[in-house]
A = this chain, B = another copy of it.
């Protein structure tokens, strides 16, 4: 009998695991490049190297694929923020958070674009995730930053806007990659660009632009 995936209670087959993996990988490729409405099931099937009905045997709808993809990716996407450590040295923590986020933008640009596409179009599929787990985590870390500021360890500032600023500056390199490349010219390959950006952002967030008496250590 044909039992679609969602209704199965038995333990999962070897083939199931492999195919679902391939499908989600293909879905990430396609969704991140075209957004949800701009992607077609046929495209995903082609990238996954299987027929459309076969794909729909594992995920009954396009939405189900998208949902599964979001669920799987959101956790890892928030990892850098989770590592944010209240006990550490504040400036060093912020610096390494920036670097981790920048590494994610470099190593997982598709994941970044997947979320960017979704949020940009009003987050119709992930509203709950934004208001739930995301907000909770940000609230928690914002409290840490607020405490640092209160203790005079960093400048007084709105912690939420600080987090937004780190998100936007780092993810910019993944989400707006085409624009960055167009402006910088083709010459700048990946790794030099990455180091330039990292150096600039760490400096910006720590010292700002004003000329300071104490030059960078």
Q: A residues bordering B, Cβ < 8 Å?
A: 33-38, 91, 94, 113, 116-117, 119-123, 127, 130-131, 134-135, 138, 152-155, 157-158, 160-165, 167-169, 171-173, 175-176, 178-180, 182-185, 196-197, 199-201, 203-212
Contacts and interface: CB of A to CB of B under 8 A. Distances in A.
Interface centre among A135, A138, A172, A179 (most CB of B within 10 A): A179
Contact of A155 (B119, B122, B211): B211
A134 B209 contact: no
Nearest to A186: B131
Query: Which 8 pairs between the two chains have the least Cβ-Cβ distance?
Result: A208-B208, A37-B38, A168-B172, A130-B182, A161-B200, A207-B208, A168-B168, A123-B178
The count of identical subunits is 2
B122 A178 contact: yes
Grouping DSSP codes into helix (H, G, I), strand (E, B) and loop, the A interface class, with mixed when no group exceeds half, is helix
Contact of A206 (B36, B116, B119, B210): B210
Contacts of A153: 211
A174 B162 CA distance: 16
Given A134-B179, A138-B183, 12 more contacts: A35-B117, A36-B38, A38-B38, A120-B120, A131-B182, A157-B204, A158-B199, A161-B201, A163-B183, A164-B169, A165-B169, A204-B205
B120 A182 contact: no
